[in-house]
Amino acid sequence: MTPPASATILKELVGFASVSANSNLDIIAYVEERLASLGIASRRLPDKMAKKASLLATIGPTDRAGIVLSAHTDVVPASEPNWSSPPFEASLRDGRLYGRGACDMKGFIAAILAQLPLLHREASETPVHLAFSYDEEVGCRGAPDLVAEVAGLPVKPAVCIVGEPTSLQIATAHKGKVAYRITVTGRTGHSALPHRAANAVTAAARIAAMLGDLADEVAISGPRDESFDPPYTTIHVGSLHGGSALNLVPDRAVLEYEIRNIPDREGGIPVLCSRIEAGIAAECQALRRSAPEADILIEEIVAYPQLATAADHPAVAAVARLAGTEARPRTVSFGTEAGLYAEAGIPTVICGPGDMTRAHKADEWIGLDELAATERMLERLAGRLRQPLATWMIS
């Protein structure tokens, strides 16, 4: 097939190696320029170091409720050795465009940029807000500022589409996630005299075992939601480091763990967290019996909320019509920024081109047909922008 207009744009977007650890200011400048060429104003929201930024732009009137198109500009690293072509030089083969971020999720951005002139021409009654973030891949760290800005627009948007890859199906739910780093400080000493020391590794191992037991308990007897795989909240210890030599009592250990919760309607997550905190506090007390200076520091390293948009919300059906899908809304196993928008009171769904199973690995790709279908989805959106949102959101 003839490549759609978005394929050319996507090639350029892939060329910006916007790995989360890098600055994304060059790709933001590229988007700004495309917006500015049509006279669309946009606003950067820089991070503290002014090394990265989100971008927010409104196409159309600002005095009424509109629709948000949300995407992240960062990508995961491309250090896998088995790439068939350079990951940051998009390569077109057999109707597929290969490159890091092609699927997750620069393809969605490319389709939006390809349809900018049309959206700009048509958005006389219903505005479209573009909200492009950074640092999504390292725990949705860039989005909170941007979401606050979107939710604080003169009129709060009525719907948000997060264009993460769902093969243009509608996803209305995902688990929330919170991750912590625990640093145990004990007291070192000769291993022959452990009674004069406080063993940080033993304490951290007890905490890891406590988390493992709790994970089993929650899996067996905790709340269930069969639309998820697995259908319960998970607790996972990802790393535990400590100790340097057998004849030394280790005075430091670091453990990282995460909780991925199913949508929590009964307030079970706070209860779970306070049980974990109580277990950690008990370990700290035990350490302090032999070393009063011992301590356990808990730091939150990632947190984003669950998404649980009601499947019968009018916004869900409206976006399904735009996407041209009649499939039932589903859940996704990966986390997104959608939960943050939903938490801010904006009905939010996930719907974007490509499939997440192709992302975060070598030879990530998106089909030209998928890009073309996304352009058509945005054409359908443009076709409704001369009407007030209420007329097509509910009918």
C-beta of 164 vs 370, nearer to Zn ion:
164
| Helix ranges restricted to H, the chain | 5-15, 25-36, 107-114, 116-122, 143-151, 200-221, 268-290, 314-323, 338-343, 368-382, 389-393
Minimum gap (Å) between residue 222 Cβ and Zn ion: 28
b or e along 198-210 (b: 16 or more beta carbons within 10 Å of the residue's beta carbon)? Answer: bbbbbbbbbbbeb
C-beta of 76 vs 255, nearer to Zn ion:
76
| Binding-residue pattern over the window 42 to 81 for Zn ion, x denoting contact by CB under 5 A | ----------------------------------------
Minimum gap (Å) between residue 241 Cβ and Zn ion: 29
Q: Which of 74, 104, 164, 251 is catalytic?
A: 74
32: contact with Zn ion by CB under 5 A = no
C-beta of 164 vs 251, nearer to Zn ion:
164
**Cβ 171 vs Cβ 342: under 8 Å:** no
Angle at 383 between CA 103 and CA 370, to 5 degrees: 20
Rounded CA separation 15/17 (Å): 6
| Binding-residue pattern over the window 145 to 184 for Zn ion, x denoting contact by CB under 5 A | -------------------x--------------------
Binding segment (CB under 5 A) for Zn ion, from list 80-88, 100-108, 243-251, 361-369:
100-108
Total residues interacting with Zn ion, rule: CB under 5 A:
3
Q: Which of 32, 122, 135, 136 is catalytic?
A: 136
The DSSP bridge partners found for residue 179 are 258, 302
Rounded CA separation 199/205 (Å): 10
C-beta of 137 vs 251, nearer to Zn ion:
137
Q: Which residue is nearest to Zn ion (CB)?
A: 104
Q: Say whether 320 sits in a helix, a strand or coil.
A: helix
Half-sphere exposure of 187 (CA within 13 A, CB side): 17
Please indicate whether residue 136 is annotated as part of the active site: yes
Minimum gap (Å) between residue 72 Cβ and Zn ion: 6
Please indicate whether residue 122 is annotated as part of the active site: no
Which of 105, 287, 322, 385 is the binder for Zn ion (CB under 5 A)?
105
b or e along 230-251 (b: 16 or more beta carbons within 10 Å of the residue's beta carbon)? Answer: eebbbbebeebebbeeeeebbb
**Cβ 338 vs Cβ 173: under 8 Å:** no
Which of 32, 74, 104, 225 is the binder for Zn ion (CB under 5 A)?
104
Minimum gap (Å) between residue 124 Cβ and Zn ion: 32
C-beta of 185 vs 336, nearer to Zn ion:
336
Write the CB contacts of 244 (distance below 8 Å, at least 6 apart in sequence): 250
C-beta of 105 vs 146, nearer to Zn ion:
105
Minimum gap (Å) between residue 137 Cβ and Zn ion: 7
Indicate which residues carry an active-site annotation.
74, 136
Binding residues (CB under 5 A) for Zn ion: these are 104-105, 164
